[in-house]
Chain A
Amino acid sequence: MTRSVVITGVGAVTPLGVGARTLHERWTAGVSGIEDGYGRASEFEPKEHLSVKEVRRSDRFTQLALAAAQEALEDAGWDGEKPYDPERTASVIGTGIGGIGTLEREHIVLQQEGAERISPLSIPLLMANAASGVIAMKHDLRGQSFGTVSACAAGAHAIGMAERLIRYGDADVVVTGGSEAAITQQSYAGFCSMKALSTRNDSPETASRPFDLDRDGFVMGEGAGVLVIEELEYARRRGAKILAEIAGYGMSSDAYHISSPSEDGDGPIRVMRATLADAGVAPKDVSYINAHGTSTPAGDRIESLAIKTVFGEHAKKIPVSSTKSAMGHLLGAAGGVETAVCILAVGRDIVPPTINLNKPDPDCDLDFVPNKARPVEVRWALNNSFGFGGTNASILVGKYKD
């Protein structure tokens, strides 16, 4: 018998504030979380969410994930009491880079003070699976624990692999999502050097403008999006509130270029098709797409092409919007946060807008819900996440119907 997977909790810490519902409300209101050219999770104060020891023993990317996981678990009704066997409960958190802030700080110590002064916490803080491990420790989750590493698709890969753990029978519940805290000198300089970032420095709050003709690159953001997902029958048995179901997951690789998308959109086309096939959902039944939409000239154009190829005539009838317009690119956290957004869109039947979209690009000729949220009955919502290395992952969530 096929095991189905449902979502029972969502949590997010983003440039739009602390809390998944805050994120959805502010984005729906058309608010931008970008300040001074960065999408920082500036309302997140670690000490308000974590103990002194937890703060000291975690990089910011883990702190963000811990706070989002806490919210998701509370949302799922885990008030201290664990409704599942810990050994059947997993933790899977994706990140693009991991604890790069820690790495940079410790590298300065190495250069200036010598190897003997490196913190014994440096490795445990910076390793890319730190978030999944620390969440597992905090909540006594004794099943699988690992990070997924696939650049800006890491959060979506985490959720997809978590869904497979449940479907395959290895786990009954997983705390899963993505986290990133890479607004650091090194990574900022690295993205600048690739010319990936917007240079709209005179108007930083409008710099992230996915699908707009004047887009010129992405804006770096940070945050975390974490879900609690459960096997359907277990969730029903414990009387959990079911927010949505995970219907499909797909993966593909461009096998083309380390950082540029291929002109024919092959990878994005195949990942969306694989996801719909996995779910058994027809393209015409998809009601909303949360695009990868980073605001880079080539990426947005090719994603538009891919959507048109997969959805055919229906493509222009589907509302498509980009979270990144309001908070920048959360890199490895993006898939987690954007899947959370899709779940809330499914639950509330309202799709948030693509803000800063004032000048349509003839190559991006879809309904991007410009600047104003729209009430839409959202039966199925698709999240796209594409990453450097040519890696792609998509997740399809939908209304849970008994």
Chain B
Amino acid sequence: MPTSTTDTATIQKVVFDSLETFGAEPTEIKLDATFESLDIDSLDLVELAQIVEDDYGVQLKGEDMENVKTVRQAVDLVMSKLG
């Protein structure tokens, strides 16, 4: 559940773990990797949003996700919503 102590490292781990579940090559998952290079598409990002919403109560809208191209941008987006 959302707490004030949820930090970037925690969110980063959730995002990394999700990407690995989606089939991205684990060694390629880095903050600056693009989703395109990880073969992660818009359907995966919808699922990522659902996972984050379930675990942290963050509401991510479709338009928020549209501009997310890298792993770092996804983590930053979630953090900004948490803040």
Q: Which stretch of B6-14, B29-37, B42-50, B67-75 is in the interface?
A: B42-50
CB–CB A120/B47 < 8 A:
yes
CB–CB B47/A119 < 8 A:
yes
Q: CB of B21 within 8 A of chain A? A: yes
Q: CB of B39 within 8 A of chain A? A: yes
Q: Which residues of B contact A56 (CB under 8 A)?
A: 21-23
Inter-chain CB contacts under 8 Å: number:
25
Question: Which of chain B's residues has its CB closest to A124's CB?
Answer: B43
CA distance A153 to B49 in the complex (A): 41
Chain A min CB distance to B81 (Å)? 16
Looking at chain A, what size class is its interface with the partner chain?
A: 10 to 19
Question: Which of chain B's residues has its CB closest to A53's CB?
Answer: B23
Q: Which residues of A contact B43 (CB under 8 A)?
A: 120-121, 124
Question: Which of chain A's residues has its CB closest to B39's CB?
Answer: A53
Question: A106-135 interface mask toward B, CB cutoff 8 Å, 1 = contact, 0 = none?
Answer: 000000000011011100100000000000
CB–CB B23/A120 < 8 A:
no
CB–CB A51/B23 < 8 A:
yes
CB–CB B50/A117 < 8 A:
yes
Q: CB of A52 within 8 A of chain B? A: yes
Chain B, interface SS category: helix
Question: A47-64 interface mask toward B, CB cutoff 8 Å, 1 = contact, 0 = none?
Answer: 000011111110000000
Looking at chain B, what size class is its interface with the partner chain?
A: 10 to 19
Chain B min CB distance to A117 (Å)? 6
CB–CB B22/A53 < 8 A:
yes
Q: Which residues of B contact A119 (CB under 8 A)?
A: 47, 50
Question: Which of chain B's residues has its CB closest to A56's CB?
Answer: B23
Chain A min CB distance to B62 (Å)? 11
CA distance A124 to B22 in the complex (A): 15
Chain B min CB distance to A274 (Å)? 43
Question: Which of chain A's residues has its CB closest to B24's CB?
Answer: A53
CA distance A117 to B46 in the complex (A): 10
Q: Which residues of B contact A124 (CB under 8 A)?
A: 43
Q: Which residues of B contact A116 (CB under 8 A)?
A: 50
Question: Which of chain B's residues has its CB closest to A119's CB?
Answer: B47
CA distance A216 to B18 in the complex (A): 48
Question: Which of chain A's residues has its CB closest to B46's CB?
Answer: A120
Cross-interface CB contact of B47 among A53, A54, A121, cutoff 8 Å: A121
Chain A min CB distance to B22 (Å)? 6
CA distance A51 to B23 in the complex (A): 8
CA distance A51 to B25 in the complex (A): 10
User: Which of B23, B46, B47 has the most A CB atoms < 10 Å from its CB?
Assistant: B23
Chain A min CB distance to B64 (Å)? 15
CA distance A57 to B21 in the complex (A): 11
Q: Which residues of B contact A53 (CB under 8 A)?
A: 22-23, 39
Q: Which residues of A contact B22 (CB under 8 A)?
A: 52-53, 56
Chain B min CB distance to A122 (Å)? 10
Question: B46-57 interface mask toward A, CB cutoff 8 Å, 1 = contact, 0 = none?
Answer: 110010001000
Chain B min CB distance to A399 (Å)? 44
B residues with a Cβ closer than 8 A to A are 21-23, 39, 42-43, 46-47, 50, 54
Offer 21 A-B interface pairs, CB within 8 angstroms, sorted by A. A51-B23, A52-B21, A52-B23, A53-B22, A53-B23, A54-B23, A55-B23, A56-B21, A56-B23, A57-B23, A117-B50, A117-B54, A119-B47, A119-B50, A120-B42, A120-B43, A120-B46, A120-B47, A121-B43, A121-B47, A124-B43
In the complex, besides A56-B21, A121-B43, A124-B43, 12 extra interface pairs with C-beta distance below 8 angstroms are A52-B22, A52-B23, A53-B39, A55-B23, A56-B22, A56-B23, A117-B50, A117-B54, A119-B50, A120-B46, A120-B47, A121-B47
